[in-house]
Amino acid sequence: MKLKSIELSGFKSFAKKTELTFGSSVTAIVGPNGSGKSNIAESFRFVLGEQSMKSMRGKRGEDLIWNGSMNLARAGRASVRLVFDNTDRALNLDFDDVILERVVNRDGGNEYYLNNSPVRLRDIAELLSQAGIGASGHHIISQGEADRALSASPRERREMIEDALGLKSFIYRRAEAEKKLEKAAENMREVESLRRELSPHLKFLERQAKKIEESEQLRQEVRTLYREYLAREVRYLKVTSARLGRERMEPSREKTELDVTIERLRQEVGAKKDDAQSRELVHLEEEGRALRGRRESQSRELGRIEGEVAAHERLVRERAEVMVKISDVNSFIDEIVAALGGALEGEFSALRRAAEKVIESARGFAARATGASAEEDTFPAEVAARKQAVEEELRALRAQEDEVSRKVAELRARIEGEKDASRDTERALFAAMSRRTQLEGTLARLAGQHEVLAREKQAFEDAVREAGMLLGSAAFEYEQYQPLSEMELPLSDEDIAHEPRTAQDERRRTLERKRIRLEESGAGNAEDVMKEFRETTERFQFLTREIDDINATMASLRELIEELSETLRTRFSEGIETISKQFDEFFKIMFGGGTASLTVVRTDLRRAASEDEDEEEENKEKEEVQEGVEIGVSLPMKRLKGLHMLSGGERALTSIALIFAMSQVNPPPFLILDETDAALDEANSRRYGDMIETLAKRSQLLLITHNRETMSRAGILYGVTMGSDGASKLLSVKFEEAVAVAK
């Protein structure tokens, strides 16, 4: 990488476009005081992105713009274009020529261009840092600034050295990594706080989800219980209903029959109570009684008639008989009296008395019978006729009576027979009625069972409806479900129906308990909650992944920072060592002896804070101990040590030795030295010139000088003059001209 040219327009005293080309490794700029030479050095700072107005001797951006003169109007903007030959690609851009341009406007606004494209300052800084052209400008030593390396604080010095060592790019990268780390930490805090905020909600949802899962499980249990219960119940109802129907059939048929039978028997029994036969019997009996009455009265009449006849006949006979008998009796009495008159007198006196009485009555009777015979002879014939009539009627009546008696007897026999038949009917009726009562009992019992069944049916329907509300269509699974035995074999409907009802009741109770628990679990809108739970979990997981990612990023950033820090530490300490050695060498050349060295010192910032507040403020690093660089020198033949003991010239020499040492270790592409040689005597000017030639081997040099010796070492000489219009003018000059111009 080489400097090709620089072009100033409107920059400070360079009112007109002015171009310097750098065809040699050593270019010198000469000219009288105040002609604008230093403005050229500053134009370099400017175009390289210098932000400190002070180091460009201005206060505001405007101060950098040609301010006009009596006869040349002021410019609206100042611009500087710097062209690098980048054929070696030292700058990480795929261009042979890299053109940097910076413009400042009167309003103070700055524009940066890279190969004519607008870029940010930062892009310029990064690009340059790779090539060891840092913003600290260690490669641009302004007028009176040679001393800077000596007068700087240890920390500034360290920065200069870091810059010179080309460590800036590492520092940039480290700063960038730190910024990223900071940002990552901020992200991390944000994400962690989001996750923290999410956490209780997630926990809540987790609990909800668990509840839902539990209630889902409960639902499954309830579903299974319902299925088992309903499947059994429906079979039980079917079988029981059929059985009751069957059981009813026979008794109710029988009862219907009995109803008919009983009705018939009843009628039969009732019909016999007052029938014609009894009436006829009564009638016949009455007729019999009437006939008997008439017969009896006729019999009496006949008796009377026969009495009359008999009495008359007896009278007649008796008279005859009495006639006989009287003679018999009188003879008998005479026999008796004869008999008795003799023999038996005294011995049988009593018997004799009785016999005497009988004889007496017999004598009386015989007397009477002889007296009554007159009337019997008058008995009328009509009596015989009447007797005959009565006898005829009696015969008729008897015949009638016999007829009636026969009829009565016959009727009685019939009625009696029928009475027996009626008792059988009553017995049958009674048996039928008692059977019917029995049947009614059976039917009532069956009706009771039927009622129970109806209630069970209702309860079953309620249960199905309930299940439907709770489980939806799953409630109807029982229709296809086949209950199994404990041995997991299909159960017949009969088996199921004949299981003791207590088993179903127990199932029902279990079901109820679970159902109530399920209803009470009231897990709300499960789908929404589960959705939210899923989403929140995803979000939580996303955040967790984010945290992991950020952690990984942070870890790799820390690693990078640590690596960069390590690189910086080693390169720095190695660099310091090399610079120190080189410094010592140059110092010995400059002073013909003596020693010079750089040492790293560590400053405790906590203690240094009060002493150097500004510095502390600028320092954003979190380190508490900071490394700085101290310079140690000892002059030959002099006992005194330390920078403060040096004369102005000695300081300048030491400073140059250090600058050159730095440039030697990590040569910058170019080095601008503005009157660094101002304080040197002739002998030192020669040594300075020698060192310049050494440096020029590795860096392009731009020397602003009044020193003849220095001019003599330049390949190209530019003279700067200031005309009457107050604007700087540039011209290429020869050595002799330069010597003349310089004065």
* Footprint of ligand ATP on 57-116 (CB under 6 A): 63, 65-67
**CB of residue 653 vs ligand ATP: minimum separation in angstroms?**
21
Q: Which of 6, 27, 37, 158 is in the footprint of ligand ATP by CB under 6 A?
A: 37
Residue 298 lies near ligand ATP (rule: CB under 6 A): no
Kindly provide the b/e burial profile for residues 577-606, where b requires at least 16 CB atoms within 10 angstroms of the residue's own CB.
ebbbbbbbebbebbbeebebbbebeebebe
Segment contacting ligand ATP (CB under 6 A): 30-38, 128-136, 253-261, 652-660? 30-38
**CB of residue 24 vs ligand ATP: minimum separation in angstroms?**
21
**CB of residue 720 vs ligand ATP: minimum separation in angstroms?**
6
Distance CA 624, CA 613 (A): 14
Residue number with CB closer to ligand ATP (592 or 723) = 723
* The length of the chain, given as a count of residues: 743
Residue 31 lies near ligand ATP (rule: CB under 6 A): yes
Residue 245 lies near ligand ATP (rule: CB under 6 A): no
**Owner of token pair 């008919």:** 260
**CB of residue 3 vs ligand ATP: minimum separation in angstroms?**
19
Strands (E), 42-106: 77-85, 97-105
Residue 34 lies near ligand ATP (rule: CB under 6 A): yes
Burial of 189 (0-12, 13-18, 19+ CB in 10 A): exposed
Residue 718 lies near ligand ATP (rule: CB under 6 A): no
Residue number with CB closer to ligand ATP (37 or 223) = 37
Residue 55 lies near ligand ATP (rule: CB under 6 A): no
Residue 724 lies near ligand ATP (rule: CB under 6 A): no
Residue 658 is which amino acid? L
Q: Which of 1, 9, 12, 660 is in the footprint of ligand ATP by CB under 6 A?
A: 12
x-or-dash pattern for ligand ATP, window 128-167, by CB under 6 A? ---------------x------------------------
**Owner of token pair 């042979």:** 96
Residue 44 lies near ligand ATP (rule: CB under 6 A): no
The residues, any chain, with a CB within 8 Å of residue 91's CB and separated by 6 or more, are 1, 84, 98, 127, 128, 130, 131
DSSP string, 406-458: HHHHHHHHHHHHHHHHHHHHHHHHHHHHHHHHHHHHHHHHHHHHHHHHHHHHH
Distance CA 590, CA 659 (A): 13
**CB of residue 743 vs ligand ATP: minimum separation in angstroms?**
11
Q: Which of 25, 35, 582, 655 is in the footprint of ligand ATP by CB under 6 A?
A: 35
**CB of residue 565 vs ligand ATP: minimum separation in angstroms?**
41
**Which DSSP state fits 476?**
G
The residues, any chain, with a CB within 8 Å of residue 416's CB and separated by 6 or more, are none
Q: Which of 38, 142, 240, 626 is in the footprint of ligand ATP by CB under 6 A?
A: 38
Q: How many residues bind ligand ATP (CB under 6 A)?
A: 15
Distance CA 431, CA 311 (A): 71
Q: Which residue is nearest to ligand ATP (CB)?
A: 33
Residue number with CB closer to ligand ATP (355 or 722) = 722
Distance CA 661, CA 580 (A): 8
Residue 13 lies near ligand ATP (rule: CB under 6 A): yes
**CB of residue 712 vs ligand ATP: minimum separation in angstroms?**
19
Q: What are phi and psi of 104, to 5 degrees?
A: -120, 135
List residues binding ligand ATP (CB under 6 A).
12-13, 31, 33-39, 63, 65-67, 143
